[in-house]
Chain A
């Protein structure tokens, strides 16, 4: 591996050369031209206080493809600027040979000098860090860092077409940068290049890092970077620095009381900053904004008083944690349940499973294994008892797969559907399975409480069924009933009386029986059907029993329609 721990080593020139061919001669020329425009005394000044080459370049707003390729030693800068390399004694890029040529003579001297960490970025843009095990790692170039990230992605088994890069750096870096800016302003504020180039053009450390490694990762994995459900997250943290911030904040606390505004937000950030947690680089970079806000709130002189420049020598680089993951994928569809011994969700009491299986596990485990995810979550629009079948068009459900290694194609999804539907015991069936975006969730929850449900119950009455009974039942439309919390769930539900509506009912005779019949009914969501049939000791009123004036028992119940619009199509 062309990176090093502790001792400088020679790079793998082959790999470097291959990637850095992106930076053609034109690029190098543009780069040299841009560098030559820089004010030499200011650059020297920055080098002398321990600012690394990349930080210097980004502070001056120099962009370009030159960033990813190989390392940039201060000697390049000086060589281009035509200045003697005093900086070599103070500052060194970790013993690297460059492909530039002109600086390499000076570079060999640097091998003798102990490496130092950039006083702004703490080594982040020098690609030096401590890994999870505490080992000091020097990647030397963006390409090498990109290579280890690419390897991480492969090792985790991900199949990707694109990725989104997220970087988070400790707030101390922003502090350092601001201190540098103030120093430069004090010293060079009057010069023409200040204000024009400096600060307004500057590239943040985060962006500089991202720009450096994004395209080599793209090349290595043959993918695109940008908006993606696959996230690569680099988190830099620094424990010592946060203590400095703690002092800093305590210093600010004193004068904060005299200022307005950022009270609450700053307070809430206090905890996380002090604990050594760095500000996250997400859309809501509150901590960054707060720190920026605090810069604005404080007078420059107050800031400089508290935050010495040059800052205390940094003896430790940041710790880097890299992780990659895919954001959850949602599968939507409808399921049917043909068994009276299968619960909707996993149901275990005292280590014993209730029922033979669960819809949740059948759907979840099959989809999970097809996507090679970490785990699944099952959500459905309502539910039915273990002994109630779910028939007709089925019930809408969502399966959330976390950290899928594969995003299945439409054809593959069809395969999953067929597989589930042809499982040996045919307990469950799935329809219209497809990947849905985050709107799938709202689609399902929308109006769940208002939706109507249709049922068919197998009913027995204690006398003969008359034609008049069928008439009576059919004539009742939009009938209100009051249901006290059924005794069978009263142990875990609030004792309430709920009003529900039975939209319509119809009796269907069963050939060969005068006391058994099928009752078809359509009710408001949340109605307890079994209790409506047998009356629950009179606690549901009216009930079929009270309507027909006799004892009524329910033997079987099936849900025949869940009247919702979602997941009805392939």
Chain B
């Protein structure tokens, strides 16, 4: 029973009514909140699956450099390493990630404001970072032409995220392409099913 928060001046009748109203409110709430488990799927779709469309760029520039592009309904693209990327084939997997490639350290840039004015504009083949394994290192590129909004700087301290969850917490960067650029680029990408077939996954 919830407490009546009103002043002591309220009549008994009003107090009772309020408590009753509150009780009814509680009951209604309970009824509404608890779902019918028969309506629930065994395994629900993931947040990525629900909110993004997944595309793949196999052999991007170099053979074996398979990358993914998750596109959100709002136009933003999350770039990352697809599970068949050659870096994962090396023993021990990814050991380090370095954003200091090309002309600047990508992890140092700061984008501010709604208009994202000082974001750097990158081409599709611009280097985002270098991913190192025990034996080799691989360049990860933008994939889609656009403004770089963010890089996943957590990878600096936790490069293992690429090994455990490259499709989620191990993403590389977030790019904002112009609508026209996206349309041009989209045609060269594969959907999930096509990609799986290609790589026989």
Q: What residues make up the interface of A, taking CB atoms closer than 8 Å to B? A: 338, 389, 391-393, 456, 458, 460, 484, 487-495, 510-513, 516, 518, 530, 534-538, 551, 553-556, 558, 560, 569
Residue of B nearest to A491 (CB): B74
Contact status A553-B174, CB under 8 Å: no
Chain B 107-145: CB-based contact to A (< 8 A → 1; otherwise 0): 000011110100000000000000000000000000000
Contact status A495-B46, CB under 8 Å: no
Contact status A495-B40, CB under 8 Å: no
Task: Write the nearest CB–CB distance from A205 to chain B, whole angstroms.
Answer: 52
Residues of B contacting A495 in the complex (Cβ-Cβ under 8 angstroms): 111-112, 116, 149-150
Contact status B78-A538, CB under 8 Å: no
- For the complex, is B35 an interface residue (Cβ under 8 Å from A)? yes
Q: How far is the CA of A554 from the CA of B46 in the complex (A)?
A: 9
Residues of B contacting A560 in the complex (Cβ-Cβ under 8 angstroms): 29, 33
4 tightest Cβ-Cβ pairs between the two chains A and B = A538-B169, A491-B74, A534-B47, A512-B37
Q: How far is the CA of A538 from the CA of B51 in the complex (A)?
A: 16
Residues of B contacting A555 in the complex (Cβ-Cβ under 8 angstroms): 40, 44
Known contacts being A553-B46, A555-B44, is A490 close to B32, with CB within 8 Å? no
Q: How far is the CA of A74 from the CA of B111 in the complex (A)?
A: 78
Q: How far is the CA of A463 from the CA of B186 in the complex (A)?
A: 36
Known contacts being A494-B113, A510-B35, A538-B161, is A487 close to B72, with CB within 8 Å? yes
A392, A460, A490, A558: which has the most chain B beta carbons within 10 Å?
A: A490
Task: Write the nearest CB–CB distance from B9 to chain A, whole angstroms.
Answer: 13
- For the complex, is B191 an interface residue (Cβ under 8 Å from A)? no
Residues of B contacting A491 in the complex (Cβ-Cβ under 8 angstroms): 72, 74-76, 176
A460, A510, A535, A538: which has the most chain B beta carbons within 10 Å?
A: A538
Residues of A contacting B54 in the complex (Cβ-Cβ under 8 angstroms): none
Contact status A490-B152, CB under 8 Å: no
Task: Write the nearest CB–CB distance from B179 to chain A, whole angstroms.
Answer: 12
Contact status B34-A510, CB under 8 Å: yes
Q: How far is the CA of A495 from the CA of B48 in the complex (A)?
A: 20
Contact status B34-A518, CB under 8 Å: yes
Contact status B33-A558, CB under 8 Å: yes
Specify which of A393, A534, A556 is in contact with B25 (CB 8 Å cutoff): A393
Task: Write the nearest CB–CB distance from A159 to chain B, whole angstroms.
Answer: 33
- For the complex, is B68 an interface residue (Cβ under 8 Å from A)? no
- The contact sample of 24 A-B pairs, CB cut-off 8 A, is A338-B32, A391-B29, A392-B25, A392-B29, A487-B51, A488-B74, A490-B150, A491-B75, A491-B76, A491-B176, A492-B114, A495-B111, A495-B150, A510-B37, A513-B37, A530-B47, A535-B168, A537-B152, A538-B169, A551-B168, A553-B46, A555-B40, A558-B32, A558-B33
Specify which of A493, A534, A558 is in contact with B114 (CB 8 Å cutoff): A493
- For the complex, is B23 an interface residue (Cβ under 8 Å from A)? no
Residues of A contacting B171 in the complex (Cβ-Cβ under 8 angstroms): 537
**Supplied contacts A389-B32, A458-B35, A518-B33, 13 more A-B pairs, CB within 8 Å:** A391-B33, A487-B174, A488-B51, A490-B74, A491-B72, A491-B75, A491-B76, A495-B111, A510-B34, A516-B35, A538-B169, A555-B40, A558-B32
Residues of B contacting A490 in the complex (Cβ-Cβ under 8 angstroms): 74, 76, 149-150, 174
B33, B40, B113, B152: which has the most chain A beta carbons within 10 Å?
A: B33
Total contacts A-B at CB 8 Å: 89
Q: How far is the CA of A60 from the CA of B180 in the complex (A)?
A: 77
Residue of B nearest to A554 (CB): B47
Contact status B34-A538, CB under 8 Å: no
Residues of A contacting B196 in the complex (Cβ-Cβ under 8 angstroms): none
- For the complex, is B154 an interface residue (Cβ under 8 Å from A)? yes
Contact status A460-B154, CB under 8 Å: no
Chain A contact residues, majority secondary structure: mixed
Residues of A contacting B149 in the complex (Cβ-Cβ under 8 angstroms): 490, 495
Residues of A contacting B76 in the complex (Cβ-Cβ under 8 angstroms): 487, 490-491
Q: How far is the CA of A217 from the CA of B169 in the complex (A)?
A: 74
Q: How far is the CA of A458 from the CA of B37 in the complex (A)?
A: 11
Q: How far is the CA of A494 from the CA of B174 in the complex (A)?
A: 14
Residues of A contacting B152 in the complex (Cβ-Cβ under 8 angstroms): 537-538
Contact status B37-A516, CB under 8 Å: yes
Known contacts being A516-B37, A516-B40, A518-B33, is A487 close to B78, with CB within 8 Å? yes
Contact status A553-B114, CB under 8 Å: no
Q: How far is the CA of A492 from the CA of B116 in the complex (A)?
A: 9
- Chain B residues numbered 68-113 whose CB sits less than 8 Å from any CB in chain A: 72, 74-76, 78, 111-113
Residues of A contacting B113 in the complex (Cβ-Cβ under 8 angstroms): 494
Task: Write the nearest CB–CB distance from B171 to chain A, whole angstroms.
Answer: 5
Residue of B nearest to A393 (CB): B25
Known contacts being A491-B75, A492-B114, is A538 close to B29, with CB within 8 Å? no
Residues of A contacting B112 in the complex (Cβ-Cβ under 8 angstroms): 494-495
Residue of A nearest to B80 (CB): A537
Residues of B contacting A536 in the complex (Cβ-Cβ under 8 angstroms): 47
Known contacts being A487-B76, A491-B74, is A538 close to B35, with CB within 8 Å? no
Task: Write the nearest CB–CB distance from A226 to chain B, whole angstroms.
Answer: 33
A488, A518, A536: which has the most chain B beta carbons within 10 Å?
A: A488
Residues of B contacting A513 in the complex (Cβ-Cβ under 8 angstroms): 37, 40
Residue of B nearest to A531 (CB): B47
Residue of B nearest to A456 (CB): B33
Q: How far is the CA of A130 from the CA of B160 in the complex (A)?
A: 83
Q: How far is the CA of A556 from the CA of B48 in the complex (A)?
A: 16
Residues of B contacting A338 in the complex (Cβ-Cβ under 8 angstroms): 32
Q: How far is the CA of A554 from the CA of B76 in the complex (A)?
A: 21
Contact status A551-B46, CB under 8 Å: yes
Task: Write the nearest CB–CB distance from A347 to chain B, whole angstroms.
Answer: 14
Residue of B nearest to A394 (CB): B25
Q: How far is the CA of A415 from the CA of B152 in the complex (A)?
A: 56
Residues of A contacting B25 in the complex (Cβ-Cβ under 8 angstroms): 392-393
A393, A491, A511, A518: which has the most chain B beta carbons within 10 Å?
A: A491
Chain B 15-54: CB-based contact to A (< 8 A → 1; otherwise 0): 0000000000100110011110100100111111001000
Q: How far is the CA of A487 from the CA of B176 in the complex (A)?
A: 11
Task: Write the nearest CB–CB distance from A521 to chain B, whole angstroms.
Answer: 13
Residues of A contacting B32 in the complex (Cβ-Cβ under 8 angstroms): 338, 389, 391, 558
Residues of B contacting A554 in the complex (Cβ-Cβ under 8 angstroms): 47
Task: Write the nearest CB–CB distance from A484 to chain B, whole angstroms.
Answer: 8
Q: How far is the CA of A240 from the CA of B143 in the complex (A)?
A: 69
Known contacts being A495-B112, A495-B116, is A537 close to B169, with CB within 8 Å? yes
Contact status B35-A556, CB under 8 Å: yes
Contact status B168-A538, CB under 8 Å: yes
Residues of A contacting B28 in the complex (Cβ-Cβ under 8 angstroms): 391
Residue of A nearest to B35 (CB): A458
Residue of A nearest to B168 (CB): A537
Task: Write the nearest CB–CB distance from A384 to chain B, whole angstroms.
Answer: 14
Task: Write the nearest CB–CB distance from B154 to chain A, whole angstroms.
Answer: 6
Residues of A contacting B37 in the complex (Cβ-Cβ under 8 angstroms): 510-513, 516
Residue of A nearest to B113 (CB): A494
Residues of A contacting B154 in the complex (Cβ-Cβ under 8 angstroms): 538
